[in-house]
Structure 1
Amino acid sequence: MSRIGKKEIIVPSSIKTKIDNSTILINGPKGELSYVISDLIIIKKIDNKIILEKKNNDKKTQAIYGLSRSIINNMVIGVSQGFEKKLIINGVGYRSQMNNKTLILNVGYSHPIEINTPKDIEIKVENNTEIYIKGINKETVGQIAAKIRSIRPPEPYKGKGIKYINENIKRKIGKAGK
C-alpha cells in the first residue's frame, strides 16, 4: 500500500496555488502548470500545505492517491526549480547541434535526424556531444530525453550511442579469437 499520498506537500511562499473543483493550478517563477485530479481524490489547501484525501478505500483509489500526490509535488518543484536531464553522445563521428529550435543529430545513419523542441522545453548542446534538456514539466523533460536516447541507444560492445550522464552500461566481451 502506498504511503506517498499521505505526505503533505509544502508549498514555498514564492508559489501561488489555486484549486477549482478538481483542477489545481500552480504558478511560480519559472512558469505555470495545471492538473486535473480524479473524482476519487479530495484536495485541500491549508496555509502553505496541500493535503490529499481518498473518498473510497479500494485499490484504484489508492493507486491514484499516490500518483496525484507525486504529480502535484513534481509540479511544485518544476515551477520553483525546474528539471534537467543530461545526455552524452559516444562514438566516432557522432555529434549534435542546434539549429534554431531544432536538434540535429548525426549518429551514424545515412541522414541527420532532426527533433523539434516543444515550446516549454529548452535544449542546449555543448561540445557537440553533451545535450542538456531543461523544463518545468518532469514528464515532458523525461519523454524528450527518452526520445533522443532511443534514436541510438548505447550498445554493449563498444558503448557507442546516446546515454544518460549517470547511466551504467553493462559491457560485453567481444568474440574470442584463436
Structure 2
Amino acid sequence: MIEQLIELDQQLFLSINKGLANQFFDFLMPLLRNPYTWAPLYLFFIIFAIRNYKKKGIIMILLLLVTFGLGDYTSASIIKPEVMRVRPCNDVPFKEQVTTRVRCGSGYSMPSSHATNHFAIGIFILMLFRRQWKPIVWLSLLWAASISFAQIYVGVHYPGDILVGALLGTAIGLFTSWLFFFIQSKAQRSET
C-alpha cells in the first residue's frame, strides 16, 4: 500500500514537473516560492494591521509571527527529521527524471515547510478578516496554493509533501486564529 502511494505521488509529481512545463511557468514558479517576492505583501499587512487596528493590530502581528514560527518549527524541526523523506531532486533512483528549476536543497521533503507556513498564514488571515472582506477567503487560499504548487513544479517537493504541509498549516492557522479571538474576548471582558 505504501509503495502504491509513493508511486502515485511520483506520477503526479512528474505530471506537474514535466507535463506542465512551459516558459511562462519556468519564469513564474521560482518567483512565487521566493520569500522576497512576497516581502511587500508582508510589509503592507504589518502597516495595515497597526494603522487600522492599533493595539489589536499589534496582537495580530505577534500572532502572525507565532503562526509562522509554529508552522516552520513543527514542519522543519519535528516532522521532517522523523519522516526523513528525500526530496525528489535528491532521490537517487528518481532524480534523473526530475527537472530541477531551483537549487534543490539538502533538507528533507515531508512536509513542505513552504506549504505549512503559507497555509498557516493564509488561514490565520482568512479567519481574521473573512467577515469584513469576503474576497480574502479565495485570495488567501489561492496565494498559499500557488506557492505550494510552485514547490512541485520547480522539483523540490512531491504532491504528498504539499498535501501534508497544507493540512498541518491549516490546523496551525485555525489554532492561532482561535487564540487571537480568545485573547480578544478576554480583553473585551476585562474592559467591561
Please, what TM-score do these two structures have when normalized by structure 2? Answer: 0.26
The structure with the greater share of residues assigned to strand is 1
Greater RCO, 1 or 2 (C-alpha within 8 Å, sep 6+): 2
State the structure with more CA Rg: 1
TM-score normalised by structure 1 residue count:
0.27
